Structure 1
């Protein structure tokens, strides 16, 4: 297990502990060298009167604290001249204490002082013991009495006064140091014991291994492991359990845990609990269930609260709902349902796979609740979208810690309550609450969601001022916030400042996502490819998930496939996050069959996996297929979340037949069956479905009657369907509402203008555009790109920056002539410029989508489809042009915009001109 250095250490019997921590002790000469300061002079409190003590002594039961200490009174009289345990500076105040020379009586009194009378009696007995000759067993009893009452310093003084401390003396102190977060002193004392010639026993090994576990010093534990083997204590259940606990806590040592477990000649319940919790920690849930079955079959142990809590954690993480319910039933059967830790685990399980009523019932049934119980309740309310209930529960908590604050903070961010999250963060700083990495990354995520530049700069300054920015995790979150707020120059500076000797995987991953988010796909891919050439990015689960997400956003199918292959080769594909990203990448990269295959090959699924598959079908406008996946998900017994219902409601817009009644039923079942309160996104999706199927008045009425103030997104969904059905009367009312809510949103003016243009009301369209120009609004710049030979070719309107721009423009002119001959009529209503008609056509002909499609036609082989991505909704004229382009070129053109996929083939589009 360890190399030659450990063998040398074994020969000298002195552990090789780092000299930076205990070197001063190793070089100190006397064997009684002290670790703690020398005992100060003090006076003990005056004891009770002699008669009181005699009465107290006669009522005690004569027992030994240690079974090995059996001494008679005559034997101790012969050694009365020996040195006391340690001399007091003055005995004047305690000289009236009775001389208790019956050792059995002193043992019994020490035991009673621990359980009934307290430290004053222990110290009075200490005075009496000082007047006797030294006895190691009695000294050990005194050490134990002090330790059980929490007086470690006093126990250590007694220990230092012993001329010949034995293994019990050492083991007691080592254990006490380990449990009081003084692991270095525990290690030094173990070294001292070995050097003094006292051989450790199983209790000594358990004590020093406890210190190793608490300090997470696995290299210490390796050396102790070797000594355990050498001295023959590996067969001890307690020592083997302690070693397994060490390897379990130190990470990447599961093989050692399993090897120790399978080689144990005898096991107890702690052995099984340790190995089961170890595999659960490594997310090996099926292995955990198998071990549990082996435990019941081979050893027949009765499970305890720790076993059940661990199994429920495994059920929560592995989507095994039936096993979780069986564990609950088993807890009821053996009377552990109301055990605090079991109930807390049950609350976590039903938060994910039950209803809020289930969790509340568990919470209210508990007579005693700890901080974990209250925090689980806060998390449950947040999970079910009941923000006010979560805040109310948080305010009722009798005590809070950083985990409680973080649960509330993360829940507020997850439920879109960004301003409340920032207010909570300010409250935490004022109250002096502990700011952990999780706290800071959550508030940075909130700022990124808010996209407020000024607020992001203030939070950035706060973190830098108080020195949190040196943490790599927080630095990456800072960079991510900067990219979300459009502060790309600041993000680039942070990337350039990154120390070359530190792992840059996380920050490079954030930068790649930032570039992609801000419409800079070239830069995103440049950072990724450069990192691979320089070997500066480790493709772990996080990096793979992030880069796959970027590949999906860009439609970079080739790089996505390479990362998929790498994930399979390295075993990362079994990770849920990576597997879900692979599904999303394929579905966004025109390969729905690849997404379905990736889903079917996953060893297990969570709710995100199913949501990714449904979202992929919606991107391809496969509403019926999305509903089929939803049916399979229900049959699997998996509980849907709020996002699932947003997706499924939207699926009814893309079905081959009008299923609005089914959509209404689903909307009601979300509330009554799954206890999910509809949010703005649910109402917006439902409005989009009603509007798509021509029920515009019903959609408008539903938005007006929403239980909360409707936001622009709901009205915008209705306005978009008004454009499809050319209903300008409702569209005008809706537009006024959107302008009142978001008067600074330029995209709304574009939608209204397009609505008027589509219905032939050119004068109204020009009035909207004129108002837009007067307000100084500019439409978000449209950008389109194609990917050819692992290179991104991107274009803006009338863009001539491409190296082959001359050829692309020449090709587009030829394509335009062919399309015009085939019947294409340019729709100049989509041009927002006050110019002559022939100039409008010139502007219209060189939109980004036309340039990108022409580039793709020129660079791909005959028979290969052209894949184009556009960062905004495709305009009507480009949609018409691409239909004719697919006809005259006899090539399929696949285009993804913000509404989903368009498959142009032989003059037709898969969206049926409704998008």
Structure 2
């Protein structure tokens, strides 16, 4: 007879707890015992056990719990079964359900089951509360999380470090940092996990200073602690601090893991710190034999951004397994270094081996076309994205196309392209048009671009400077002065130009006109000697790039003190002959420095690599990799 939902279980004596091993006739039941999926099917199976005189102990109790957990009537039915079978305690069975629900696609079921346990007076233990807290964390359910926190306090579980860590994690990840800190401060004990939770959430919220203060206070740090803080510095644009902390980590004797290596290499890439990047690469090869795809991808990016394209290609070629990130990073690197043809060839190889490109791949390809003036090829790639690969262009792709057209003097077409975009153009898109207007001296379109930029990105000094430069080159001094006054009125300050060079692991920075460096006199003397040789080879100072109304002699002096020139001469004075000189500049390299560096590379027989805001310039034997198109 089938049991109805409202019926009580049969008398206790009908359900002996005899093991299934004593009932050889039960073999045919085995498939049924583990296949019921609803309370109704469970009741049918139960009735069959009663009718056949089989023991209730044959039922898998954890499955009974999971099937009956979310129905009020079925819940009490399951409780009656648990009371009549020897086995795990009832809360252990319900905890197995809570754990499953908390990890499932529907973590709210764990919260619902918790309230059902309280409704039926099932006393929770620490595991119960931990699983419900996990569900609340996945749901970002702060309200139910507070209720569970109340149970932790009420039931005297404040000694349980795992529960308190979970509560701190819940509050912090839901943005309740005050509550998280309150619990943190009250905790009778903390472990490294507690500190790492707080540090992680502070970094996620951009409070890197407060995170570092907490990091300093930590009584114990593991590799995750160090890595979190290093990554926090990298994410907020403080690569110097990230590298300094990594060096401190090494002194503390903590071995880096994969995540540490990745974030430190990212910092090296931002700084152009080739010395440390190489050392990390060599150490990682000894530890892990260079087989880690994520580390290899970051190495490619680091070498590319440090101006070592051959090293980047070496890492790429040695990779046994490559992802789309590997291919895209190498294509982008070739593009940045003016190797457009090689970038396109590598893309063809990528397609041949069956690797599907993504949106980042096409950004690299469009940059390659832009820097080399390959307009038709760029148009084809842009069309191919959606047609052949189903990639919807993002704002970055539109910006690349405007840059491509603008550089190629197709300013009207670039403007029409912006007007017909299916998404609203941002400051980068209008900025690309403005850059083209400067190169090709189109004042009217430049003025339109700046009108949009004044709304979209009003505090970006670069756009105002470009427009002022356009006016100055046209000798419209009053308009140039008006733009500078507009900057002052709006509180926009011009970013000072600086250049850096790393010599024997130490980064040296120079600003335009810098006379404070300890070797300033030697630098100026050597520049004078170079200048004589350059003039014999036809060098004429391009004073048009000095956009100030001053005497020609003063303009030349100003020109000779550009930060990249000072960094270059410093490198010539302090580096071994024949060693490539690598310079980083925060702004775009000017036309005069570009012409000077070409001549100097031939005079001193040195490779000079300059990474500016837009790309790399590799000067060698009197020419540049950009082919004077940048």
Q: TM-score range by the shorter chain?
A: 0.7 to 0.9
The 10-residue stretch of structure 1 (843-852 or 113-122) with the greater mean CA deviation from structure 2: 113-122
Partner of 2:452: 737
Normalising by structure 1, what TM-score? 0.52
Cα deviation, residue 762, structure 1: 4.5
**8 Å CA contact retained: 2:243, 2:264:** no
1:825 Cα deviation after fit: 4.1
Question: Residue 882 of structure 1: CA displacement?
Answer: 2.5
Preserved CA contact (<8 Å) 2:199 2:211: no
Asked if residue 68 in structure 1 is aligned to residue 68 in structure 2, the reply is no
Cα displacement string for residues 324-379 of structure 1 (whole angstroms, at most 9, x for unaligned residues): xxxxxxxxxxxxxxxxx9xxxxxxxxxxxxxxxxxxxxxxxxxxxx769xxxxxxx
Matched, 1:141 2:55: yes
Shift in Å at residue 802 of structure 1? 3.9
TM-superposed deviation, 1:867:
1.0
Contact kept? 2:199, 2:215, Cα under 8 Å: no
Tell me, yes or no, if the aligned pair for 1:480 and 1:510 is still in contact at 8 Å: no
Cα deviation, 1:177-223, whole Å, max 9, x if unaligned, reads 8654379xxxxxxxxxxxxxxxxxxxxxxxxxxxxx99xxxxxxxxx
Summarize the Cα distance change of 1:781–1:46 in structure 2 as closer, same or farther, 3 Å threshold: closer
Residue 145 to residue 601, structure 1, CA distance change in 2 (3 Å): closer
Cα deviation 1:38-94 (Å, max 9, x = unaligned): xxxxxxx9979xxxx99xxxxx9xxx9846269xxxxxxxxxxxxxxxxxxxxxxxx
The aligned counterpart of 1:614 is: 331
Specify the alignment match of 1:376 in structure 2. none
Shift of 1:894: 1.1
Tell me which residue corresponds to 1:546. 263
Give 1:140-179 correspondences, 5 Å limit.
141-144=55-58, 147=61, 149-150=64-65, 172-173=87-88
**CA–CA distance in structure 2, aligned partners of residues 68 and 640 of structure 1:** 63
Shift, 1:871, TM fit: 2.1
Does 1:534 pair with 2:252? yes
In the alignment, the residues of structure 2 paired with residue 684 and residue 439 of structure 1 have an alpha-carbon distance, to the nearest angstrom, of 40
The equivalent position to 2:618 in structure 1, one of 903, 906, 912, is 903
1:703 aligns with 2:630: no
CA contact (8 A) 1:552 1:585 kept: yes
Aligned to 2:196: 472
C-alpha displacement of 1:746: 1.1
Q: Offset of 1:683 from its aligned partner? A: 0.8
Shift of 1:760: 5.0
Partner in structure 1 of residue 356 of structure 2? 639
1:787 aligns with 2:502: yes
Unaligned runs of 5+ in 1: 1-44, 55-59, 71-110, 126-137, 160-168, 184-212, 215-340, 342-369, 373-400, 406-424, 444-457
Query: Deviation per CA, 1:411-444, whole angstroms, max 9, x where unpaired?
Result: xxxxxxxxxxxxxx8xx6579799999999999x
Distance of 1:402 and 1:842 partners within structure 2: 66
SS of the equivalent of 2:381 reads helix
8 Å CA contact retained: 1:724, 1:914: no
Q: 2:463 aligns with which of 736, 741, 748?
A: 748
Alpha-carbon distance between aligned partners in 2 of 1:441 and 1:787, rounded to the nearest angstrom: 40
Q: Distance in 1 between matches of 2:59 and 2:475?
A: 95
Structure 2 unaligned runs (5+)? 1-5, 25-35, 66-76, 108-134, 149-165, 186-192
- Once residues 848 and 836 of structure 1 are traced to their aligned partners in structure 2, the CA distance between those partners, rounded to angstroms, is 21
Rounded to whole Å, the distance in 1 between the matches of 2:333 and 2:577 is 28
Q: Does 1:605 align with 2:326?
A: no
Q: Is the 8 A contact 2:169 2:180 kept in 1?
A: no
Could you say which residue in structure 1 is the equivalent of 2:243? 525
Report the equivalent of 1:681: 396
Cross-structure match for 2:274 = 557
Say whether 1:723 aligns with 2:432: no
- CA distance in 1 between partners of 2:622 and 2:213 (Å): 48
Partner residue, 1:98: none
Q: Which residue of 1 aligns with 2:347?
A: 630
Select 2:291's aligned residue among 550, 555, 574: 574
CA distance in structure 1 between the aligned counterparts of 2:411 and 2:264, rounded to whole angstroms? 41
Match of 1:493 in 2: 213
Match of 2:302 among 559, 574, 585: 585
With over 3 angstroms needed to count, the CA separation of the structure-2 counterparts of 1:818 and 1:674, relative to structure 1, is: same
- Bigger CA drift: 609-618 or 686-695? 686-695
Distance 1:845 1:462 in 2: 58
Residue 228 (structure 2) aligns with: 507
User: Would you say the 8 A contact 1:828–1:844 is kept in 2?
Assistant: yes
Residue in 1 that maps onto 2:118: none
Deviations 1:744-800, CA, capped at 9 Å, x for gaps? 221111121233344554443333233323433212232211111111112223345
TM-score where L is the length of structure 2: 0.73
- Quote the Cα distance in structure 2 between the aligned partners of 1:680 and 1:834: 38
Q: What are the Cα deviations for residues 536-575 of structure 1, in whole angstroms up to 9, with x where unaligned?
A: 3x32110111111222222222322222222222226222
2:365, 2:404 → 1: CA distance? 11
- 1:28-47 paired onto structure 2 within 5 Å: none
The structural deviation recorded for 1:706 is 0.6
Q: CA deviation at 1:631?
A: 1.0
Q: CA RMSD in A?
A: 4.5
- Give the number of the structure with larger relative contact order, counting CA–CA contacts within 8 Å between residues 6 or more apart: 2
> How far has the Cα of 1:878 moved from its partner?
2.8
**Residue 696 (structure 1) shift:** 1.4
- 2:125 corresponds in structure 1 to none
Q: Do the aligned partners of residues 155 and 877 (structure 1) sit closer, same or farther apart at CA in structure 2, a change above 3 Å counting? A: same
Report the Cα offset of residue 629 of structure 1: 1.3
On the 8 A contact 1:886/1:907 being kept in 2, the answer is yes
TM-fit CA distance, 1:868:
0.6
CA separation of 1:502/1:670 partners in 2, compared to 1, >3 Å: closer, same or farther? closer
Deviation at 1:615, TM superposition (A): 1.0
2:111 alignment counterpart: none
* Structure 1 equivalent of residue 95 of structure 2: 181
Q: Secondary structure at the match of 1:610?
A: helix
Provide closer, same or farther for how the CA distance between residues 595 and 46 of structure 1 changes in structure 2, counting only shifts above 3 A.
closer
1:116 to 37, 40, 43: 43
What do the CA deviations read for 1:291-338 (whole angstroms, capped 9, x no partner)? xxxxxxxxxxxxxxxxxxxxxxxxxxxxxxxxxxxxxxxxxxxxxxxx
Q: Please identify, of 738-747 and 894-903, the stretch whose mean Cα deviation from structure 2 is larger.
A: 738-747
1:572/1:578 contact within 8 Å kept: no
- Residue 836 (structure 1) shift: 5.8
SS in 2 for 1:795: strand
Counterpart of 1:596 in 2: which secondary structure? helix
Q: Is 2:583–2:610's contact at 8 Å kept on the other side of the alignment?
A: yes
8 Å Cα contact 1:114/1:145 also seen in 2: no
**Aligned CA distance change for structure 1 residues 605 and 850 (closer, same or farther; 3 Å):** same
Number of residue equivalences: 540
Against the structure 1 CA distance between its residues 466 and 65, is the aligned structure 2 distance closer, same or farther, given a 3 Å change threshold? closer
2:503–2:574 CA contact under 8 A, matched in 1? yes
Q: In 2 relative to 1, CA 597–557 (structure 1 residues): closer, same or farther, beyond 3 Å?
A: same
